[in-house]
């Protein structure tokens, strides 16, 4: 379904140019802007991301989203780009894969995360994908194809974009009528890979990560590919060609930079533990695995996984026991304290849970995962004015607020009878997810509940004009 949508959307946008327009196409070697402008890249990226959200199993847990975006934004900042132009997301898929699409959207599969042993190695993969975006490799590949013919270029670009999310579909798209251009596009991709390695290692180094982690992640992928008993190439390697020369070049480049220590890995280990628990399809089997790990290492992330597993299965006494084991090993970590607050609330000690959450929220006001749970409890107790203040302050004082905060505030405002404000917040929520038509509908609903000629009407109509300007026709 995703592949069909991507093919139809991308090809329609690219092939529906007026007849005769090919005569004005840029020749090989001209800047990528002449073939695909940054605004066009962003529009394509938004369209693809809408289909990805609708069609792929994305990890929806706020704590997982916060971790991958915090790590990704640290790398983006080190690259010198604006963090607001990038978005990172996790796909619940055991296949080892990661990809970037135009507009700064970077996806990474659960399987690839699970294969990495250190945070720096995951950071290396993300830095590589960030480099694909900053160097505009999609536009450059499109420019190469477009010099041959518009229809061939459209197929090449569609194949690249589709192939990153689904290699089999991407290969099929390339094979359809592209016998001549296929090898050239692959060679160009390999050149892009080398450039992304170089830029990515510099990003790692600037972000204070060990630059040798890039080569380490490549070695892990190569080893996983060799050990693959199915005999099929890893999905990541199909779209990111890898050989011993690339690994050696990455190692040599990192050797000329200063190595960094890897002391603080608790965030990464807790993140992986949470991801594995929340995405497991067999809780009983996962419980056996975690118990086996505990007998081997007594590691804090294993105690975290066991406490979370028991909480999710409503075995609250067992969850409390493992929480006590975890607290012996980890002090004052927000993920640990948040889990403790969840367990307290599940046991009925909502007052103590809420007290802990308010303390955490004061210490980490930018973490929506904390506010999300606090809002749930406050709304449940019908403390709507308090909930409105909490959500409003978060949105006002956070540089890149979580989109769900707009929805949470809209829910509170709806319950308080503030219908215009509720629809306006829902409009912001949908706009954050590139659903501009739905955002426009919410703004139109908001206009029905405000006085004609008021400042509120002027503001809402101005917002509606902006949303309609972005929304695809």
In tens, the pLDDT along 127-141 reads 999 998 888 777 666
Bigger pLDDT: 264 or 30?
A: 264
The confidence score (pLDDT) of residue 410 equals 98
Split into its structural domains, the chain has a count of 3
Bigger pLDDT: 246 or 380?
A: 380
In a domain, 413, yes or no: yes
Same domain, 241 and 273: no
The confidence score (pLDDT) of residue 1 equals 35
Confidence at 101, pLDDT banded by 50, 70, 90: confident
Same domain, 110 and 227: yes
Rounded Cα distance between 325 and 319, Å, is 10
Describe the crossing of helices 384-397 and 404-415 by its angle, rounded to 10 degrees. 150
The confidence score (pLDDT) of residue 34 equals 56
* Weakest mean pLDDT among 243-247, 295-299, 350-354: 243-247
Confidence at 172, pLDDT banded by 50, 70, 90: very low
Q: 292: domain range?
A: 268-348
In a domain, 438, yes or no: yes
In a domain, 357, yes or no: no
Same domain, 302 and 249: no
Same domain, 168 and 301: no
Q: Is the pLDDT of residue 182 over 60?
A: no
The confidence score (pLDDT) of residue 32 equals 55
Question: In percent, how much of the chain has pLDDT > 90?
Answer: 58
Question: In percent, how much of the chain has pLDDT > 70?
Answer: 79
Rounded Cα distance between 245 and 230, Å, is 25
Q: Which pTM was predicted?
A: 0.83
In a domain, 263, yes or no: no
Same domain, 335 and 304: yes
In a domain, 262, yes or no: no
């Amino acid at each position: 379904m995703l592949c069909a949508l991507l093919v139809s959307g991308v090809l329609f946008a690219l092939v529906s140019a007026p007849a005769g327009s090919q005569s004005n196409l840029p020749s090989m070697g001209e800047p990528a802007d002449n073939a695909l402008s940054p605004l066009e890249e962003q529009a394509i990226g938004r369209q693809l991301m809408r289909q990805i959200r609708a069609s792929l199993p994305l990890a929806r847990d706020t704590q997982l989203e916060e971790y991958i975006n915090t790590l990704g934004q640290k790398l983006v900042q080190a690259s010198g780009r604006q963090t607001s132009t990038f978005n990172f997301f996790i796909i619940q898929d055991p296949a080892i894969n990661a990809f970037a699409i135009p507009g700064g959207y970077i996806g990474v599969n659960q399987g690839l995360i699970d294969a990495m042993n250190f945070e720096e190695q995951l950071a290396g993969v993300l830095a590589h994908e960030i480099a694909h975006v900053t160097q505009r490799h999609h536009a450059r590949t499109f420019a190469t194809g477009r010099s041959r013919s518009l229809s061939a270029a459209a197929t090449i670009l569609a194949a690249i974009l589709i192939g990153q999310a689904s290699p089999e579909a991407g290969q099929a798209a390339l094979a359809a009528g592209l016998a001549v251009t296929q090898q050239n596009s692959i060679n160009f991709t390999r050149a892009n890979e080398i450039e992304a390695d170089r830029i990515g290692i510099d990003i790692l180094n600037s972000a204070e990560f060990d630059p040798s982690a890039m080569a380490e992640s490549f070695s892990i992928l190569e080893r996983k590919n060799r050990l693959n008993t199915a005999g099929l190439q890893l999905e990541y390697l199909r779209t990111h060609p890898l050989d011993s020369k690339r690994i050696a070049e990455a190692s040599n480049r990192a050797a000329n930079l200063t190595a960094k220590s890897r002391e603080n890995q608790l965030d990464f280990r807790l993140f992986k533990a949470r991801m594995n628990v929340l995405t497991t399809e067999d809780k009983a089997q996962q419980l056996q695995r975690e118990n086996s790990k505990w007998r081997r290492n007594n590691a804090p992330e294993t105690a975290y996984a066991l406490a979370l597993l028991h909480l999710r299965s409503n075995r609250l006494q067992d969850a409390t026991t493992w929480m006590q084991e975890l607290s012996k090993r980890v002090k004052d970590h927000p993920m640990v304290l948040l889990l403790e607050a969840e367990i307290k609330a599940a046991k009925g000690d909502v007052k103590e849970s809420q007290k802990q959450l308010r303390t955490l929220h004061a210490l980490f006001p930018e973490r929506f995962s904390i506010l999300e749970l606090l809002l749930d409890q406050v709304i449940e107790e019908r403390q709507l004015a308090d909930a409105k203040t909490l959500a409003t302050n978060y949105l006002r004082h956070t540089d890149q607020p979580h989109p769900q905060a707009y929805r949470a505030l809209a829910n509170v405002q709806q319950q308080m009878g503030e219908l215009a404000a509720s629809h306006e917040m829902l409009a912001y929520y949908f706009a954050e997810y590139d659903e501009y038509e739905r955002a426009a509908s919410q703004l139109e609903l908001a206009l029905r509940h405000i006085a004609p000629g008021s400042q509120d009407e002027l503001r809402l109509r101005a917002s509606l004009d902006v949303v309609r300007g972005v929304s695809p026709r």
